Each structure stands twice: as C-alpha cells, then as structure tokens.
Amino acid sequence: MNVGWIRHGNLSLKLLLVMGIVLFFVCNCSAKSQYSHKRVNDDYDSLPGVTMNVTDAEVVIDNGIVQITIANPEGHLMGVCYGGVNNILETPNKESNRGYWDVVWGTTNYYGTDWLLGSTFNVIVENEDQVEVSFSYKWDSTTWNTSNVWRIPANVDRRYIMLRGSSGFYTYMILEREEGVMPEANIFQIRTVYKLDQERFQYMAISDDRQRIMPSPKDRETGLPLAFKEAVLLTDPTNPNLRGEVDDKYQYSCDDKDNKVHGWISFDPQIGFWIITPSNEFRSAGPVKQDLTSHVGPTALAMFHSAHYAGYDVTMSFQEGEPWKKVFGPYYVYLNSASDYTDFHELWEDAKHQMKQETRSWPYEFPLSNDFPKSVERGFVYGRLQVHDRYRWKVVKSASHAWIGLAAPGVAGSWQTETKVYQFWTRADRNGGFMIKGIHEGVYNLFAWVPGFIGDYVYEEEITIAQGSVLKLGNLVYEPPRNGPTLWQIGYPDRTALEFYIPEPNSLFVNKLYTDSNVNRFRQYGLWERYAELYPDEDLIYTVGESDFHTDWFFAQVTRKEENNTYKPTTWQIVFTLEEVINSSNYTLRIALASATRAELQVRFNEPELSIPHFTTTVIGTDNAIARHGIHGIYRLYNVDVPSEWLCVGNNTLYLKQSRHDSPFFGVMYDYIRLEGPPRTI
C-alpha cells in the first residue's frame, strides 16, 4: 500500500491519498500533532496503526503513510515507499549505499570508514502507535580488526522509530565505549547519508534564500575539476541553464545553529524529502560549528561530528580504555507531497512548519532508549548576562543577544573544540536574559560570547545538573579583555569576516544562486584569487581615519599568486597616527581571528624587516575556511603587549605578515583588530 499525503499545517493544502485510486479531502494539521501518538481523538483513531514485518533479510515498517525497509540485521535503509513511489531512494545503488550511518576514524595503524553494520536485530516496542527497532553491534576484541574495515572501538546501537500518523520516521544512534576495554581511537566524522532517486529529486532547499535546481552527478563527471576535486565547472550539463556554473558541496554548508531543516523536492510526483534536526545538543563543537547539508547526488546528510571548518582541533580522541557514551539524534526524516497544481515551494514552507513543530516538542517523549533522557529528567538554567567593558562605558550593560551555553568543563572558549559531551546553547534576549532548557544530568561550565565584544566568558563555578534541576544564576557580568581606551579598531567583533570586503567572483566561476546576494557572496568559488587582482602591485594598506573596513579590508589575508604559479607571503599595513606616546607603558593590540589555515601571522611595529617579529601566532589552524567558502572557522583571540618603545609620535605602521605560503588556501580571516592605549585611572 502506498499512501502519499500532503503535510498541510497552516497551508490548508489538500491531502492526497494514493491507494490505487486518488482521493482528496481537507485536513487541518494544527488540530493534530503527528507525534503525540498517545492522544486519543477521532482523527488519530481513524489512522492506520503501525505494522512491522520481519524476515531474515529485511524489516519492513509501515504506518499507511510511509513504509521503510531496513536490512536485517545490518540496519541500513534500503527503501522508502511514499507518495505512490515504490522507493524514493536511488535503487540502482547497492542496498547498503542508499541510507546509512558511517564513521570515519583512525588509530595508530588504521584510518578508514566503518559503516557500523549491525549484527543483532531487536524489537524495542511494537504496537499500533509506535514501532521502535534496534540494529546493534557489540565490539569484540577478537574480531574487530580482522577484516579490511576495522570496527570502531565502540558498541553501536542504531534505532528507527515510526509513529502512527507520522509522515516519516525518526532515527538515532547510541555509541558507547566501555571503561577499560577498548583501544584508543580518533573519530573524525559521524553522519547519516541518504541518496535519493536521481531521476526525481532535482531541487534542493537549505533555507529561504538558498534553494535551486541542482546539477546531476553526471554533470559533474563531464565538467572540469577546479582547484580541488569537490569544485567542478559545469561545461556540458544535461540542463543547459547550468552551463558555466560552479558546483561544490561546500557552497551549501551552514552553521549548525541554522541547520534545522534541509532537503530535496521531486517535481513528478511532487514530493519533499527533509532532514529535520530539532536540537543541536548532540552535535560537536557548539552552535557556530559549520557543516555540510545536502549536495549533488541527490544526497541529504545529517552531520553530527566532522573536521569541516575546524580541522584537527576538533578530532574526537579517546585514550585506551576511556569510557564514553553519546546519543546522536533522534532526528526526523520527514516526507511531504502536494498535488501537481500546487506551487512546489509550498513543500519547503510546510517542511519549515514541521521543523518548528519538532523543535517545540523537543526533547521527544517517545524514544525508548534509557540513554535518551525525557524532559522530566532534564534540567533548566536561567539568568541574565551583562557586560562591563571598561574604558568604553562606566556602567554595566545588557549582553544583548549573547550566545550562552553549557558544555563540558574547560577554559573559556573550550566548547568550540569540545566533541564528546552534549552542549546546550541558547541566545539571550535584548536584555541579556536567558533560559537553557532540556539539559542532561551532568557537570558543566556555563560559557558565553557576546556579539560586539571580544573574548569568551566562563562562569567561575562548575554547574551540576541533576534530574529536574532548576537553577537560577541571577545577574552575571562578563568583563571582556580590556587594558585601556580604544585608540582605533577595525571590524565588528562577531567571530566572522562578513563585514569586510568580499569581492565579486570571477565571472567564469559563478554559482548563480549567490549572484544577487550580499550576505552569501562569500560562498562563491575562487575569491582567494581575487586578492592579487585587486592588489596587483602592493599589498593592502589600511589608513586609520581614512579607510573603511567594509570596502578597504579584504575578507581574508591570503597568499599572492605569482605568474609562475607559486604563491608568496603577503604583508598588510595599518597606518595610524599617535599624537602622544606615554613612555614606559604598555599599549595593547587585540587581534581576533575568525579563521586560520596553516598560517603564521607575524606582527611588527614600524620595522618591517625586523628579523624576529614583535609577536607571532606561530603556525595555527587547519579549518580550511578559505577553500571551503566559509566566512569563519575557529575563533582565536591574541592579546599583545605593545611597549611604548615600539611606537612613536606621529605616523606608525603596523605590519601584519602571513608568512606561510605553500598554497592558495593558507591564510587567516580577521574578525576584529583594536589598539588600546595604556591603562589609566578612570
């Protein structure tokens, strides 16, 4: 039985049932929540129950709306039957290559991918309202490395849940390392991959302003690979409208905080396939970690952990015997459909509506693993954050729209490379008021950063959350780094380079999706090469008081391409005038970097040839944001004492040299730079 239906929400679309015959009727979604399966109402009772059919090879789960077929006991998803289509996944692919979890990991003498194939199938619950099944694998010290694919040193439990009346299914995974048992391991990536029917799914949607008709895998094969294999110039695409465009999956990345719903639309029949991730708690490295979403395939990803835009700093490393357990998900794979006469954009609107519903009902009450705490087992923290920026204001101000979160204990800012423990983030209101809900039991630090201010906040005491804890923290005050009054500043401290000059792309390497978008221009391919075109003779010189960082500060300090295809270092200058220099004192230079890739930033005051620089960052960063069209990677703040002897009355020049030049992708992005005068009584 294939039953397709529209999710309708506020849209009042018509519900389409395909059961051999086509029936239409109107349904009001707001009256019925899809996951509150225990609710008794006529609507709900009239829906078919969830059924399961298990054979030696397959587990088939069906709720009359969606039917999924899972390999038994391996656990990969072989089929999704929906909307009158027998299988919306890419059936020419092997059964194991349509919907699967994988982990990229390594140890001293191994690096590779484990597809986490299960060896045991278990029914967790099976009734009309809900089926939950488990495909698990218990790590075994005698067999784990006997095949080409070494099994990750962890016990793996992958779950699927189907609810009555739900137009999709939920999935999650529990990874567990037993104490004292398992060898060391470095985990680089954890994700789920869905490969959809190539013939049907051609329209991809990530956000309101990022959606388009996509090329096919074949279009990439016939195209011209650019500076790295992921970026391809489409020279002979089947859809002639795409000719001359660049395709690169990294152009469709986003911050994890914004990655709540993305997916694909088929035009015939009109079907949407959506990955809805209602919480960021189980993803690595906090809210501004970036990752992939969907890309040519058609492929839809649910990313939980990766090195993207962060590099080796976020490797999840386990010592031999180190215990650990984490639940990834659940997230929702949501399907919707519309009749041919509906504008297909409604499917995106409806997916967003569904995302909001899923987000509101987080934490879900229905997942049955004891490792997934229900809302009553979780805690709650609230308070108000203020900022005291000395020399700028005498009074304490609200930390408006600050990002505030709980993460594993550590120094200020450690959350952005923390990968093993859940993180719970929220955004303060205008007055700095915040509430963090749904926190797992555990010991945390409270961290924050405030747009408009440099540095990282950490609350001095560790915070212990017990089941049902409600913790009132009251007024907290963040004192950002500050030694003296601002003499000059460049940029806006928000951990990105978005406010700086971002050039138009070379007209040969355009992604048309971003042509008319200022906020997305940084996602265009090849902007790193525009630097040498814009500054052909000498490097960038910024004159305080005359230059404007929106137009006169290139968004990344990249290397300069020579005619013989080598690259050389670049040295940027900041020219500033001091009317007086206070002897025997320290000024302070603050350099906040938004990104760094195998870069060394050297700082010299007034003496460009000084053999030992006044300050160097040493070699930092593997976040690769320049090549991956990110506008930020990992945030780093450098605070440099500047003895007055380095300065002079009148014109001064600050030389910023990025000395590492083996590649076009080595370099830094600045977030913000400031020179402070010496401390004085205020």
Tell me the torsion sign for CA atoms 229, 232, 235, 240.
positive
Q: Closest CB to ligand NAG among 53 and 566?
A: 566
Q: Closest CB to ligand NAG among 89 and 654?
A: 654
Rounding to the nearest 10 degrees, give the CA dihedral for residues 332, 348, 354, 20: -80
CB of 546 to ligand NAG, least distance (A): 7
What residue number has its CB nearest to ligand NAG?
641
CB of 645 to ligand NAG, least distance (A): 8
CB of 418 to ligand NAG, least distance (A): 30
How far is it, in rounded angstroms, from Cα 476 to Cα 385? 5
How far is it, in rounded angstroms, from Cα 671 to Cα 673? 7
Q: Closest CB to ligand NAG among 607 and 641?
A: 641
Q: Closest CB to ligand NAG among 516 and 579?
A: 579
- Which of 123, 106, 116 has the alpha carbon at shortest distance from 137? 116
CA atoms within 13 A on the CB side of 412: 16
Give the Cβ contact number of residue 111 at 10 Å: 12
3-state secondary structure of 558: strand
Which residues are within 8 A (CB) of 313 and not within 5 positions of it... i.e. 6 or more apart? 417, 621, 622, 623, 634
491 φ/ψ sector (left φ>0, alpha ψ -120 to 50, else beta): left
CB 628 within 8 A of CB 253: yes
CB of 392 to ligand NAG, least distance (A): 21
Q: Closest CB to ligand NAG among 412 and 575?
A: 575
Look at the block and give the residue holding tokens 């700028």. Answer: 392
DSSP-assigned letters across all residues of 432-462: SEEEEEEEPSEEEEEEEE-TTS-S-EE-SS-
CB of 575 to ligand NAG, least distance (A): 6
CB of 541 to ligand NAG, least distance (A): 9
Phi, then psi, of 360 in degrees rounded to 5 = -65, -30
Tokens of 170: 């939920």
Q: Closest CB to ligand NAG among 344 and 549?
A: 549
Residues forming contacts to ligand NAG in the complex (CB under 6 A) are 543, 562, 564, 566, 575, 577, 583-586, 641, 643, 650-651
Q: Closest CB to ligand NAG among 373 and 664?
A: 664
CB of 537 to ligand NAG, least distance (A): 13
CB of 585 to ligand NAG, least distance (A): 5
Q: Closest CB to ligand NAG among 474 and 650?
A: 650
Q: Which helix (H) or strand (E) holds 217?
A: helix 217-221
Distance of CA 321 to the CA centre of its chain: 30
Q: Closest CB to ligand NAG among 632 and 674?
A: 674
CB of 650 to ligand NAG, least distance (A): 5
